[in-house]
Amino acid sequence: MPKLTFIGHAAFLLEDDDGNTVAIDPFIKDNPVTDLDIKKLKPNTILLTHAHNDHVGDTVELAENN
C-alpha cells in the first residue's frame, strides 16, 4: 500500500511498495518542521505543484543527488 508522509509546509513524500519515491514540493532544508537529511533522500521523481520558492525548495539539490 502506498505511503504518504507529510514533511511540513507543503512537502510530502509518496512511497510505493516497490521502494519508488516521489518528492512533492520538496522544501526540506529550511523547513522547521522536518529533520530529514536531504543527502539521504533519493526520490525517483520530483513533483512541483507550482514555482514558488517554498514549493520548489530543494528540487535542484535533490535532482543533483540522484
**2-58 pLDDT tens trace:** 999 999 889 999 999 999 999 999 999 989 999 999 999 999 999 999 998 888 999
Question: What pLDDT was estimated at residue 54?
Answer: 81
Question: What pLDDT was estimated at residue 53?
Answer: 85
Q: Could you tell me the pLDDT band of residue 1, with boundaries at 50, 70 and 90?
A: very high
Report residue 47 as a C-alpha cell: 513533483
Residue type present at position 60: V
Question: What pLDDT was estimated at residue 22?
Answer: 97
Report residue 43 as a C-alpha cell: 526520490
Q: What is the pTM of this model?
A: 0.89
